[in-house]
């Protein structure tokens, strides 16, 4: 699957994905650019039924966790680098927000290259955004120490479905020439017209009893109540992991 054809795969064949293949893909993905060549990430590979069962509720029961042969949790990691500094009597000072964002950047770039490489091999992947909703639970289950933080969970397996590609905004929605141009009312109408016109999106509006698609997002999918409480929890966990 090329990037131009990619889609998230949520149903997998029971066929295994070998350790060798995962290792090979991670090893190639390690050529992703990284801040000062520090490689500020770690990956926890979950294959056992026991560990998947523990992760499952933390990802709100999404069936990919137990349905995929391999679950990978990509973590920002300044712990390893700091441990090296300690061994070398070097004054490590990476317990701050900048260092967290440096490590998060390294981690997410690496995650994406892993996924692209996996998809080139015919594997299907799904990115679970739920990782940021209950980081403390994931930290506890995977035994993540201070100066690490789980950012992305990727389920990996051989595809057992072939869904349609999702719609995307037109390029001009995201591209600004020289300066950012803020969005006028007219621009919003034009840029969201296709998305709002799609039958599947109109169906979302209908089944949720809302006036329009934006309200499905704000009132059903990503609500003020959830955003505010999950965000507060996230900040607490970042503090607990030593990053704030």
Footprint (CB under 8 A) of its own copies, residues 67-126: 75, 77, 79-81, 83-85, 87-94, 96-99, 101-102, 104-105, 108-109, 111-113, 115-117, 126
Using the rule CB under 8 A, is 29 a contact of its own copies? Answer: yes
Instruction: State which of residues 35, 66, 136, 204 lies at the interface with its own copies (CB under 8 A).
Output: 35
Residue 202 near its own copies by CB under 8 A: no
Residue 56 binds its own copies (CB under 8 A): no
CA distance 147 to 132: 16
| 41 φ, ψ (degrees, to nearest 5) | -150, 155
Structure tokens at 166: 């999702």
CB of 61 or CB of 168, closer to its own copies? 168
Nearer to its own copies, 67 or 237 (CB): 237
Number of C-alpha atoms within 13 angstroms, CB side, residue 29? Answer: 25
By CB under 8 A, residue 14 contacts its own copies: no
Q: Rule CB under 8 A: which of 220-239 touch its own copies? A: 221-224, 227-228, 230-231, 234-235, 238
Could you give the angle at the alpha carbon of 163 between the alpha carbons of 161 and 167, nearest 5°? 160
Phi, psi (5° rounding) for residue 74?
-90, 125
CB of 160 to its own copies, least distance (A): 19
- State in angstroms the smallest separation of the CB of 109 from its own copies: 4
Contact criterion met (CB below 8 Å) for 124 and 158:
yes
Contact 158, 13 (CB under 8 A): yes
Shortest spacing between CB 15 and its own copies, in angstroms: 20
Are 154 and 127 in contact by the 8 Å Cβ rule? The answer is yes
Whole-angstrom distance, CA of residue 137 vs CA of residue 143: 10
Residue 46 CA to residue 43 CA, distance in Å, equals: 10
Segment lying near its own copies (by CB under 8 A), choices 10-18, 61-69, 155-163, 212-220: 212-220
Backbone angles phi, psi at 149, to 5 degrees: -160, 130
The residue (of 15 and 88) whose beta carbon lies closer to its own copies is 88
Residue placing its CB nearer to its own copies in the complex, 67 or 125: 125
Total residues in contact with its own copies, by rule CB under 8 A: 112
For residue 155, which of 221, 56, 57, 230 has the smallest C-alpha distance?
56
63 backbone dihedrals φ, ψ, rounded to 5°: -65, -15
CB of 58 or CB of 151, closer to its own copies: 151
Residues in region 129-188 near its own copies by CB under 8 A: 129, 132, 142-145, 148, 151-152, 165-169, 171, 173-180, 182-183, 185, 188
């Amino acid at each position: 699957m090329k990037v131009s054809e990619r889609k998230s795969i949520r149903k997998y064949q029971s066929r295994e994905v070998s350790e060798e293949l995962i290792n090979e893909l991670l090893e190639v993905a390690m050529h992703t650019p990284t801040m000062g060549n520090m490689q500020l990430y770690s990956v926890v590979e979950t294959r056992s039924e026991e560990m998947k069962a523990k992760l499952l509720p933390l990802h709100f029961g999404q069936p990919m966790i137990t349905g995929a042969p391999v679950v990978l949790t990509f973590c920002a990691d300044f712990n390893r680098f700091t441990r090296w500094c300690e061994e070398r009597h070097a004054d490590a000072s990476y317990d701050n927000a900048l260092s967290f964002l440096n490590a998060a950047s390294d981690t997410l770039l690496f995650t994406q290259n892993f996924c692209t490489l996996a998809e080139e091999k015919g594997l299907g992947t799904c990115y679970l955004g739920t990782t940021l909703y209950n980081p403390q639970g994931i930290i506890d289950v995977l035994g993540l120490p201070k100066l690490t933080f789980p950012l992305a969970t990727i389920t990996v397996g051989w595809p057992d479905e072939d869904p349609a590609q999702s719609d995307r905004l037109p390029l001009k929605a995201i591209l600004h020439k020289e300066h950012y141009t803020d969005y006028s009312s007219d621009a919003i109408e034009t840029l969201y017209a296709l998305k709002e016109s799609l039958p599947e999106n109109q169906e979302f509006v209908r089944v949720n009893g809302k006036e329009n698609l934006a309200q499905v997002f704000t009132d059903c999918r990503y609500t003020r109540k959830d955003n505010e409480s999950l965000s507060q929890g996230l900040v607490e966990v970042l503090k607990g992991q030593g990053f704030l």
